């Protein structure tokens, strides 16, 4: 949100209070508060009729500085707030001199000038990271009397900003206005399903604005040398998170807001959907599954989209009896074929659902201020909204889902959760503005925790569309309703990269796109991208996504990349374990792995899958692609050809090929099974060592599919020979292969 008219003037009707010199400071052992009147104090008379801005500095976690800016503090506290894992015992040093007040946590220091104009510097050691200066803080009143508070942090020369949720526009956020407000806006606009008030800087720090309500960011767009963030009201809290590397920032951020849970091994396999508005019954489903088996296409999960329920009844969680007269038997038959089953749900209750009256009578539905049920006709006629601030409503909703689990359903696609009204009353008195984005957190938490309780830790997985900060704890999230074009393929990847830079460890997208029907070229190119993501789903809107609906080559392409992904399960599982333990995502923007290479700053058509595989999806029918390779000798995983960087590479690929390159010195473990994802990953594993350096020693850790201790190998390279040793865990057999010459 912009408040100024150019650099010198304010917009019509806008007034801004800005802190002047610090008048006094109140320190304690772990924090300090400064009081800064507006303007200059030259005598006692100047203390009258003069506002004071209060700013408190603290540290909720190691390497994190919290800043709270306030004007009037007499307002009622508003809920909900983000649930943060604050640490009250980590070392914090507070030092006050005549010139400055300093708070240090880890290597990060915030320094407030106590003389002269307002200035706050954030330093790593003696090096300036960013700063808030005399025109940065503003307590704003607009022309309609609405109040806002903002701060602005300096952008350095060449500094680039990432994150702010799953955003489909330009990957680098410099020059953009970004409003943190969940919306069902597709993937081709400035709106987003997953809005996260956190950004990651190439300078090695992050900023988390600790407000679940509407937060507006001006990233070098109102003042080109600063990033501004503003919230409505009379106070603003944000946390500056230290690195020094972008990965370190994500580690600290996810330690504060929550790290992704482990997901079951079977979820990494291929998911096939009925699609949305297509006509289907058990016969259709069986034909799809038979068709996959007949063509030797490994399938792990079958998904039933919306019309598994009766039209106009969403959601009542009752199988449409005209289409599925024997759901328990059907689910049993699917399980007998080794498949898991996912069904579509949302948090909306149509008026024709029997749950509407049940929820109305019990007080489980969101209400208008006059006590009536909030309703509208968008999506479902007369639909209402489950009130997840009511613990009894949570138990009621989860109980309906448990009935489906007892039938044999294994997981849920938690669709929607973005269209949340702000003129309603919540059971626990929550502020409607705060609840708009936060609703997605409560919704997915309810479903994920039910699955964890019923299926066990590590066996819960959802396919979620909406999210906000902290939602990364409840994976998996997918990219929403994109079109079926190469352009949409690129915008989907930009969304995934931005979400990864926002602390989300897993991410998926609809192979081929959702809206419309992709032509065979788009579908086949998207297959490689989809199978080289953490989770892979064939899904669309009005047309089936079985590969033989396109051409015979699509079948071959799907088989090739599905089997490649399944062979990579030991590697992908290790990357997923890093996401769970450290908050570093599986799909990684190039800058996460190569922060010191300036060429990676703007790369948004390629990514790292885990730490050691570079993937550049082909987004053209003719197969021509240009991508960037960082320093060293990289090896094409599928052909063995080598490319030396740094530099740009132009290649042409058939539909059965894509640039997927192994990093110099990488040890990539390949599993011995290519027809399912849930197998003993360490048994018969083949360790491929790529372009090693003399004397290299590498540890390779392979998790266990059941969450056990896993297996660890040490690979050594000396005198042109590679050797491998089992140092922990169990493996029924293993081998080592040196790629690029030498012996193993």
> So which residues are the catalytic ones?
415, 418, 481
Count CB atoms within 10 A of the CB of residue 85. Answer: 12
- Tokens describing residue 77: 């506290």
Return the structure tokens found at 662: 């192994």
Helix (H, G, I), strand (E, B) or coil at 200: strand
**Residue 274 in contact with residue 285, Cβ under 8 Å?**
yes
Q: For residue 234, how many other CB atoms are within 10 A of its CB?
A: 16
What six digits make up the tokens of 124? 């790593």
> CA 395, 398, 404, 408: dihedral to nearest 10 degrees?
-110
Task: Name the region of 181 (left: φ>0; alpha: ψ -120 to 50; beta: rest).
Answer: beta
For 552, residues 6+ apart whose C-beta sits below 8 A from its C-beta are: none
- Tokens 């992050």 belong to 206
DSSP letters along 722-737, please? EEEEEEES--S-EEEE
Extract the tokens encoding 69.
């800016």
Distances (CA, A) of 557 to 289, 531, 550, 554, 625: 18, 11, 11, 5, 18
List alpha helices for 456-541, DSSP H.
Answer: 486-500, 520-531
Structure tokens at 275: 């699609």
The values of phi and psi at residue 683, to 5°, are -75, 125
Burial label for 189, CB within 10 Å (0-12, 13-18, 19+), is: exposed
| 3-state per-residue secondary structure call for 636-696 | ECCCCCEEEEEEEEEEECCCCCCCEEECCCCEEEECCCCCCCCCCCCCCEEEEEECCCCCC
Contact 599, 631 (CB under 8 A): no
Token pair 């990271």: residue: 129
Q: Which candidate, 702, 696, 689, places its Cα nearest to that of 742?
A: 689
> d(Cα 170, Cα 460) in Å, to the nearest integer?
33
Number of CB atoms found within 10 A of residue 32's CB = 21
Q: Which helix (H) or strand (E) holds 590?
A: helix 590-593
Can you read off the two tokens belonging to residue 433? Answer: 């503005």
Instruction: Describe the crossing of helices 520-531 and 552-567 by its angle, rounded to 10 degrees.
Output: 10
Task: Report phi then psi at 208, rounded to 5.
Answer: -115, 115
Long-range CB pairs of 712-715 (<8 Å, 24+ gap) are 713/669, 713/685, 713/687, 715/667, 715/687, 715/689
d(CA 201, CA 223): 17
* Coil, strand or helix at 533: coil
Nearest to 514 by CA among 545, 477, 547: 545
How many angstroms separate the CA atoms of 311 and 331, rounded?
A: 21
Instruction: Give the integer Cα–Cα distance in Å for 86 and 302.
Output: 40
Question: Omega into 324 within 30° of 0, i.e. cis?
Answer: no
Cα torsion 173, 177, 182, 186 to 10°: value is -70
With CA atoms as reference, report the closest residue to 617 among 586, 670, 661, 584.
Answer: 661
DSSP code at position 443: H
| Contact between residue 586 and residue 264 where contact means Cβ atoms under 8 Å apart | no
């Amino acid at each position: 949100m912009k408040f100024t008219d150019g650099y010198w003037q304010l917009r019509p009707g806008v007034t801004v209070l800005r802190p002047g010199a610090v008048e006094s400071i109140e320190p304690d052992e772990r924090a300090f508060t400064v009081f800064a009147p507006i303007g200059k104090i030259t005598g006692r008379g100047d203390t009258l009729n003069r506002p004071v801005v209060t700013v408190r500095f603290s540290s909720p976690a190691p390497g994190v500085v919290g800043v709270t800016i306030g004007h009037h503090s007499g307002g009622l506290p508003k809920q909900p707030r983000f649930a943060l894992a604050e640490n009250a015992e980590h070392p914090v040093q507070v030092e006050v001199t005549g010139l400055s007040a300093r708070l240090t946590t880890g290597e990060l220091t915030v320094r407030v000038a106590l003389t002269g104009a307002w200035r706050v510097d954030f330093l790593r050691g003696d090096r300036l990271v960013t700063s808030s200066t005399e025109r940065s803080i503003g307590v704003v009143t607009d022309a309609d009397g609405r109040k806002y508070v903002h701060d602005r942090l300096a952008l350095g020369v060449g500094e680039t900003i990432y994150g702010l949720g799953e955003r489909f526009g330009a990957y680098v956020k410099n020059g953009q206005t970004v409003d943190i407000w969940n919306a069902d806006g597709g993937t081709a606009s400035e709106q987003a399903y997953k809005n996260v008030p956190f950004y990651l800087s190439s300078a090695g720090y992050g900023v988390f604005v600790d407000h679940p309500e509407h937060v507006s960011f001006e990233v070098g767009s109102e003042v080109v040398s600063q990033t501004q963030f503003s919230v409505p009201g009379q106070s603003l809290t944000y946390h500056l998170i230290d690195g020094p590397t972008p990965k370190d920032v994500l580690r600290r951020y996810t330690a504060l807001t929550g790290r992704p849970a482990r997901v079951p091994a079977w979820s990494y396999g291929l998911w096939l959907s009925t699609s949305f508005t297509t006509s289907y019954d058990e016969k259709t489903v069986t034909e799809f599954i038979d068709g996959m088996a007949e063509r030797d296409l490994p399938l792990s999960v079958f998904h039933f989209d919306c019309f598994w329920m009766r039209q106009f009844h969403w959601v009542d969680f009752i199988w449409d009896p005209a289409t599925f007269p024997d759901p328990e038997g059907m689910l049993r038959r699917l399980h007998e074929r080794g498949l898991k089953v996912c069904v579509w749900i949302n948090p909306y209750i149509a008026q024709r659902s029997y749950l509407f009256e049940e929820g109305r009578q019990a007080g489980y539905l969101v209400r208008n201020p006059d006590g009536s049920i909030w309703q509208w006709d968008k999506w479902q006629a007369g639909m209402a909204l489950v009130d997840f601030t009511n613990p009894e409503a949570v138990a009621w909703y989860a109980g309906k889902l448990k009935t489906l689990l007892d039938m044999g359903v294994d997981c849920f696609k938690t669709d929607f959760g973005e269209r949340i009204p702000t003129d309603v009353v919540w059971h626990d008195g929550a502020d409607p503005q705060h609840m708009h984005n936060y609703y997605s957190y409560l919704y997915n938490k309810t479903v994920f925790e039910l699955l964890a309780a019923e299926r066990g830790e590590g066996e819960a997985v959802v396919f979620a569309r909406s999210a906000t900060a902290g939602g990364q704890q409840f994976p998996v999230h997918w990219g929403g309703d994109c079109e079926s074009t190469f352009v949409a393929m690129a915008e989907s990847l930009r969304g995934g990269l931005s979400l990864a830079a926002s602390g989300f460890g897993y991410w998926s997208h609809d192979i081929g796109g959702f809206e419309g029907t992709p032509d065979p070229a788009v579908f086949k190119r998207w297959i490689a991208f989809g199978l080289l993501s953490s989770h892979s789903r064939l899904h669309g809107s009005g047309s089936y996504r079985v590969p033989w609906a396109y051409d015979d080559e699509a079948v071959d392409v799907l088989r090739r990349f599905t089997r490649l992904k399944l062979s990579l399960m030991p590697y992908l599982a290790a990357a997923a374990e890093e996401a769970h333990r450290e908050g570093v995502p599986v799909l990684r923007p190039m800058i996460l792995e190569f922060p010191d290479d300036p060429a990676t700053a703007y790369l948004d058509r390629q990514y790292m899958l885990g730490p050691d595989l570079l993937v550049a999806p082909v987004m053209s029918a003719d197969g021509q692609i240009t991508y960037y390779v960082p320093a060293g000798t990289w090896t094409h995983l599928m052909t063995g050809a080598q490319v030396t960087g740094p530099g740009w590479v132009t290649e042409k690929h058939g539909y059965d090929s894509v640039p997927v390159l192994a990093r110099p010195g990488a040890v990539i473990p390949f599993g011995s099974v290519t027809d399912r994802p849930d197998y003993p990953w360490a048994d018969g594993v083949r360790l491929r060592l790529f372009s090693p350096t003399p004397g290299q020693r590498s540890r390779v850790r392979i998790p266990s599919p059941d969450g056990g201790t896993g297996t660890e190998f040490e690979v050594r390279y000396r005198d042109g020979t590679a050797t491998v040793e089992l140092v922990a865990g169990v493996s029924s057999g293993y081998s080592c292969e040196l790629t690029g010459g030498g012996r193993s």
